[in-house]
Amino acid sequence: MAKKKTKWVCQNCGYESPAYLGKCPECSKWGTLIEETDETVSASSIKKQNKVATSKSEPTLLNDITADKSERFSSGYEEFDRVLGGGFVKGSLILTAGEPGIGKSTLILQSCGYLSSKGKKILYVSAEESEKQLKIRAERLNIHADNLFILSETCLENIFETVKDLKPDFLVIDSIQAIYSQEITSSSGSVSQVRECCYSLMNLAKYMNITTVIIGHVTKDGTIAGPKILEHMVDAVICFEGDRYREYRILRSTKNRFGSTNEVGLFNMGEHGLKEVKNPGEIFIAERSEDTAPGSIIVVANEGNRPLLVEIQALVSQTFYPAPRRVSTGIEYNRVLKIIAVLEKRIGLNLSKHDIYVNVVGGIDIDDSAADLGVALAIMTSFRDISVDHKTAVFGEIGLTGEIRSCTQAEIRIKEAYKLGFEKIIIPKGNAPSNLNLKNLKIVCVSRLIEAVSSALQQEKP
């Protein structure tokens, strides 16, 4: 019998302590430590349970190992394949993480529909929804698959039994937080359970060579035990993000043992499920009106090696607080603070008596530093209450001395803005194209923020 003892585990980061602590020393969150009974699961019991790796592994010469490139297969969606690095790798373990209701089950079920039409045998373990619920969703998504088995089960050991009998090619666990192992006494969703279940599934995936997708929930404040503590165990972490109340969804890999993490996939959520967005250039500026308001700027950001035009908005208003507020959605907070500091010091804006709100329209997160110039101009125009012509786009990174630094893939960005009908683009001097002849597009190269500001405010006389 395994030895029982209790420990206190941070549900946010997995930190363990023998006694209760109000604040986690690892991640500094309050009240996240929860008591869990820890059964020191012995190696033999893991093997017994998994019936895997019972024999000792022998070393093999690297040259003797054959790896087949064709061991990849498509998910049925180009956008998804790209994020995976060219499709699913046979026998790999993939974590699909996202906020509740974002569309994780939909994405994976649609992919299962495609895979089963290609003759793959699939087991979809639904630990959260009943078989009926899944059927209703499948009908809405128009999935009529032959080889798709649904199992409504939450006990890991029972799932293993089924997997061993059925021997599927593709296994889905929806979701990791809802299943539990009998070996562990703490409740499902706790750090010990999630970690143990994931570990067992990893062994199963490698041993039986089953491609396994684990679905996991994350919340913005990260209070649920989850994906963070699983990242090192899985081969790839695919994050599904976007605004639940709007139709666009972005698929991004934050870890991938088989491909680049630079790629993103874009989807559109509708009544009949997720559709790929193949030409994403303008989706985020589609609703923009002709007469621009102060504080709105279009930037050409680069997401996953593809140019994406997004609108950045800023609102600068007189503060009623002792310390003015700075709120940022979609752009990293510290980056915005840095830009505000540069505006104050290099352009001479006095923003200390003003609240500043910055927002990326469309509910997406922009990591690209080329958005800096857009943020600066949005704040500046809102402060001065003047607007920039709506046919103007910008990109460029801002340095602390107020210089505009060059960005990657400038030509692609310029061409995208041209394609979408922009008439003027402000870019870093370092990115000045040598021989780009685009009729009707005025390319303004700037080396300092002050030049960018005066160029942006110059109205072209008709």
Residues that bind ligand ATP (CB under 6 A): 98, 100-106, 128, 217, 244, 269-271
Q: For Zn ion, give the closer residue by CB, 24 or 297.
A: 24
Cβ contact 336:375 at 8 Å: yes
Of 98-106, 230-238, 311-319, 403-411, the window that binds Mg ion (rule: CB under 5 A) is 98-106
Pick the binder of Zn ion from 9, 15, 234, 396 (CB under 5 A).
15
Pattern 26-45, binding to Zn ion, x per CB under 5 A?
A: xx------------------
What is the closest distance, in whole angstroms, from the C-beta atom of residue 105 to Mg ion in the complex?
A: 3
What is the closest distance, in whole angstroms, from the C-beta atom of residue 280 to ligand ATP in the complex?
A: 19
What is the closest distance, in whole angstroms, from the C-beta atom of residue 24 to Zn ion in the complex?
A: 3
Token pair belonging to 114: 């495609």
In what helix (H) or strand (E) does residue 375 lie, and over which residues does it extend?
A: helix 372-384
Crossing angle (nearest 10°) for helices 131-140 and 104-117: 80
End-to-end CA distance of the chain: 85
Q: For Zn ion, give the closer residue by CB, 8 or 207.
A: 8
What is the closest distance, in whole angstroms, from the C-beta atom of residue 221 to Zn ion in the complex?
A: 12
| Nearest one of 407, 413, 458, 402 to 431, comparing CA atoms | 407
What is the closest distance, in whole angstroms, from the C-beta atom of residue 147 to ligand ATP in the complex?
A: 21
Residue 302 to residue 263: CA distance in whole angstroms = 10
Residue 371 to residue 343: CA distance in whole angstroms = 15
Contact call for residue 50 and Mg ion (CB under 5 A) = no
Burial label for 1, CB within 10 Å (0-12, 13-18, 19+), is: exposed
Q: For Zn ion, give the closer residue by CB, 10 or 102.
A: 10
What is the closest distance, in whole angstroms, from the C-beta atom of residue 232 to Zn ion in the complex?
A: 16
Is the CA virtual torsion 69, 71, 76, 79 positive or negative?
negative
Residue 170 to residue 120: CA distance in whole angstroms = 7
Token pair belonging to 233: 């165990």
Pick the binder of Zn ion from 12, 116, 200, 203 (CB under 5 A).
12
Quick one: what does residue 13 bind among ligand ATP, Mg ion, Zn ion, none, with the CB cut-off 5 to 8 Å set by partner type? Zn ion
Under DSSP, is residue 214 helix (H, G, I), strand (E, B) or coil?
strand
Pick the binder of Zn ion from 13, 94, 138, 236 (CB under 5 A).
13
In what helix (H) or strand (E) does residue 73 lie, and over which residues does it extend?
A: strand 72-73
- Considering just the CA atoms, what is the radius of gyration of the chain in Å? 26
Quick one: what does residue 12 bind among Zn ion, ligand ATP, Mg ion, none, with the CB cut-off 5 to 8 Å set by partner type? Zn ion
Q: For ligand ATP, give the closer residue by CB, 217 or 354.
A: 217
Q: For Mg ion, give the closer residue by CB, 103 or 307.
A: 103
Locus of tokens 């199963």: 204
- Helix locations, 118-255, DSSP H: 131-140, 156-166, 191-208, 227-230
Quick one: what does residue 339 bind among ligand ATP, Zn ion, Mg ion, none, with the CB cut-off 5 to 8 Å set by partner type? none
Q: For Mg ion, give the closer residue by CB, 128 or 423.
A: 128
Burial label for 30, CB within 10 Å (0-12, 13-18, 19+), is: exposed
Contact call for residue 177 and Mg ion (CB under 5 A) = no
Q: For Mg ion, give the closer residue by CB, 209 or 219.
A: 219
Q: For Mg ion, give the closer residue by CB, 217 or 306.
A: 217
Strands 397-398 and 404-405 turn out to be antiparallel
Quick one: what does residue 102 bind among ligand ATP, Mg ion, Zn ion, none, with the CB cut-off 5 to 8 Å set by partner type? ligand ATP
Pick the binder of Mg ion from 12, 105, 110, 256 (CB under 5 A).
105
Quick one: what does residue 15 bind among Zn ion, ligand ATP, Mg ion, none, with the CB cut-off 5 to 8 Å set by partner type? Zn ion
Token pair belonging to 401: 């001395």
Binding site for Mg ion (CB under 5 A): 105
